[in-house]
């Protein structure tokens, strides 16, 4: 059985969501962040990357949610929620599977530059252009497609929602009326029963049950 090593208030909640969507069994181990808000030593000991999510599946220890989500969908989900290479939507699926990391890279550059950075500096300009471009791409995609990976809900949506909901706490752009297709998409996807259940179990407001300590 897959064990999800969940770091409290983190994007590892998307793996719980994936398992609930697929109806697969899993064990949840919960780790609290340290006082520095980073992963604690016992979490970092699981995998050299030390970032959440991490799963274990038998002897396999896997980090990086893009890899984990595709691995579970293909190896354990019979390909459900993935998009087949023969589909016309496959290139879109691949692109949107990377949205999470691409947007977070731009956001972290902005955070590192700090609030007093020269807005015309090369690094701030680079981050702003990338971030603006990604939101424009998102809005354009959702104006023509109900879901990022095509007409059906897929892992690309599971990969992307954290950026449009929880990442706001780190200063990500609010999804408001300036992004109407994206706003409607977030409302549609976050209404899914599996999403609601997963957020109750492991979302930002969830409380660790004592039995899940990692
Ligand atoms: N690209 C990685 C990003 C993982 C990531 O940055 N996770 C954060 C939590 S949202 C983390 O591990 N933070 C704690 C730390 O860096 O110590 C993925 O999607 O798995």
Output the pLDDT for position 153.
Answer: 98
From 52, 159, 161, 204, mutation site for ligand 1 pocket: most ligand atoms within 8 A of C-beta? 52
Quickly list DSSP for 101-155. HHHHHHHHHHHHH-TTS-TTSHHHHHHHHHHHHHHHHHHHHHHH-SBTTBSS--H
Q: Is 28 exposed, middle or buried (0-12, 13-18, 19+ CB in 10 A)?
A: buried
Structural domains for the chain: 2-80+195-212 (3.40.30.10), 90-192 (1.20.1050.10)
Q: What is the pLDDT at residue 213?
A: 86
**pTM of this prediction exceeds 0.95:** yes
Indicate if ligand 1 lies below 6 Å from the C-beta of 150. Answer: no
Whose alpha carbon is nearest atom 11 of ligand 1? 51
pLDDT of residue 214: 85
pLDDT at position 211, please? 85
Mark the ranges of the chain whose per-residue pLDDT is less than 70: none
pLDDT tens digits, residue range 12-68? 999 999 999 999 999 999 999 999 999 999 999 999 999 999 999 999 999 999 999
């Amino acid at each position: 059985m897959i064990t999800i090593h969940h770091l409290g208030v983190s994007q590892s909640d998307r793996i719980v969501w994936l398992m609930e969507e697929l109806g697969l069994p899993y064990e949840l181990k919960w780790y609290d962040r340290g006082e520095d808000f980073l992963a604690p030593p016992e979490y970092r000991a699981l995998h050299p990357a030390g970032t959440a999510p991490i799963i274990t599946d038998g002897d396999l220890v896997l980090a990086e949610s893009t890899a984990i989500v595709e691995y579970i969908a293909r190896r354990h989900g019979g390909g459900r929620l993935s998009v087949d290479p023969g589909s016309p939507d496959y290139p879109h699926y691949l692109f949107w599977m990377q949205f999470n990391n691409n947007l977070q890279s731009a956001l972290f550059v902005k955070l590192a530059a700090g609030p007093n950075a020269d807005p015309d500096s090369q690094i701030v300009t680079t981050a702003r252009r990338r971030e603006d471009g990604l939101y424009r791409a998102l809005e354009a995609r959702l104006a023509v497609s109900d879901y990022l990976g095509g007409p059906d809900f897929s892992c690309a949506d599971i990969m992307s929602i954290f950026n449009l909901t929880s990442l706001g706490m780190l200063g990500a752009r609010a999804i408001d009326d300036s992004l109407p297709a994206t706003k409607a998409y977030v409302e549609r996807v976050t209404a899914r029963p599996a999403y609601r259940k997963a957020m109750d179990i492991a979302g930002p407001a969830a409380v660790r049950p004592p039995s899940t300590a990692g």
